Amino acid sequence: MLQFTLKRFLIIIPLLFLISATSFIILAAPPGDYVTSYVARLSMQQGFPVTKEEEASLRNQYGLDRPLYVQYYKWITKVMRGNFGMSTTREAPVNDLVKERIVLTVGLSFLTIMFVWVLAIPIGIISAVKQYSILDYIATFSAYIGVGTPNFLLALAIMWVVLDMGGGYIGGLFSPEYIEADWSWDRVKDVFKHIWVPAIILGTDGMAGLTRIVRANMLDELHKPYVLTALSKGLPVWKVILKYPLRTALNPFFSGIGYALPQLFSGATILGVVLGLPIIGPLLLSATLDEDMLLAGSLLFVMSALTLVGTLVSDIVLAWADPRIRIEG
């Protein structure tokens, strides 16, 4: 098991550098840069164009006049020391801009995955055991609705219903008095009052999909000889189900941790804009539109690192649950 874990960990390191370099190149691919956008805005505000000398001075100040590989080398060496540099558009250290958002993003993702697991597993089991019953039809119909409804549309619908019923605004993760406050126990409790709404909305799609996966896997396992043998020996039905076929049916849950995180990050971007969530997604969108390469590159690096760590955890848990994985891997 240790050798399996070490092998997976060693694969992550070159992948992280490859992803960061690719992201940096893609961000730099469109014509223009931050200075181009800044000069255009400044010219509109002043009413007369910025001179070429001033533009060249700004590009030299931000290091954008150097070759792309030099810019990447300087950035990645700082990142390896834990320094993500300065945001050009916000004129603040990237570390200060992202550290709270990383914590909130990871917390939201964790709660979303827990919500998905707690509901998808029992619903999938019941739907398989009670195949073609009214419960199965309800679960199947709900799953199709959940998969087919975009998260942001569901958020808008919930906000409209709550406001129509006389409720308050359900967006954000903090009450107004805690938005700029320092972290304290009261602020943590305030987060938990608000975070369940985006967690449920984000988890709807994943819960619906995983419910169908558990149902399909359970139906495949329930009619296999080892299950029929256990039942013929007089073992209780639910004990047989929970001890034998469920273990095999849960493998997609463990392997799904790796791809669940990027799905949550991508889905949370639009949802974060709709609900005004202080997480990574909306900040990445804003940095990309502003052509703030250091901020956007740092956020992509963090998201890639979290995704790779999630994949590592997924591989380890799956190998622990199914010995065949670590023997073959």
Least confident of 106-115, 148-157, 198-207, 256-265: 256-265
User: Of 211, 189, 191, which Cα lies nearest the Cα of 115?
Assistant: 211
Least confident of 36-50, 91-105, 279-293: 36-50
134 band by pLDDT with thresholds 50, 70 and 90: very high
User: Distance of alpha carbon 298 from its chain centroid, rounded?
Assistant: 16
**How confident is the model over 139-147, as a mean pLDDT?**
86
Tokens standing for residue 80: 């390896």
Question: Which amino acid belongs to residue 94?
Answer: V
Place of tokens 């995704």: 307
Span 44-81, pLDDT tens digits: 776 667 777 777 787 787 777 788 888 888 888 888 88
More confident residue, 106 or 38: 106
Q: Count of CB atoms within 10 A of residue 106's CB?
A: 16
pLDDT at residue 105 tops 80: yes
- The whole-chain average pLDDT of the chain stands at 81
83 band by pLDDT with thresholds 50, 70 and 90: confident
What pLDDT sits at residue 287?
Answer: 85
Tokens standing for residue 147: 């998969």
For residues 222 and 129, the answer to whether their CB atoms sit within 8 Å is yes
Q: What CA–CA distance (Å, rounded) separates 31 from 84?
A: 24
Tokens standing for residue 192: 């938990």
What pLDDT sits at residue 291?
Answer: 76
Tokens standing for residue 53: 């000398």
pLDDT at residue 329 tops 60: no
For residues 89 and 295, the answer to whether their CB atoms sit within 8 Å is yes
State how far the alpha carbon of 171 is from the alpha carbons of 51, 155, 162, 192, in Å.
44, 9, 11, 13
328 band by pLDDT with thresholds 50, 70 and 90: low
- For 214, what's the count of Cα atoms within 13 Å in the CB-facing half-sphere? 31
State how far the alpha carbon of 115 is from the alpha carbons of 33, 122, 249, in Å.
41, 12, 18
Span 158-216, pLDDT tens digits: 888 888 887 777 788 888 888 888 888 888 888 988 888 898 888 888 888 888 888 88
User: Distance of alpha carbon 122 from its chain centroid, rounded?
Assistant: 24
DSSP secondary structure, 223-254, as one string: TSHHHHHHHHTT--HHHHHHHTHHHHHTHHHH
Class of the domain covering 95-328:
mainly alpha
Residues counted in the chain: 329
Q: What CA–CA distance (Å, rounded) separates 71 from 50?
A: 25
Span 222-267, pLDDT tens digits: 888 888 888 888 888 888 888 888 877 777 777 766 666 666 666 6
Q: What CA–CA distance (Å, rounded) separates 210 from 201?
A: 15
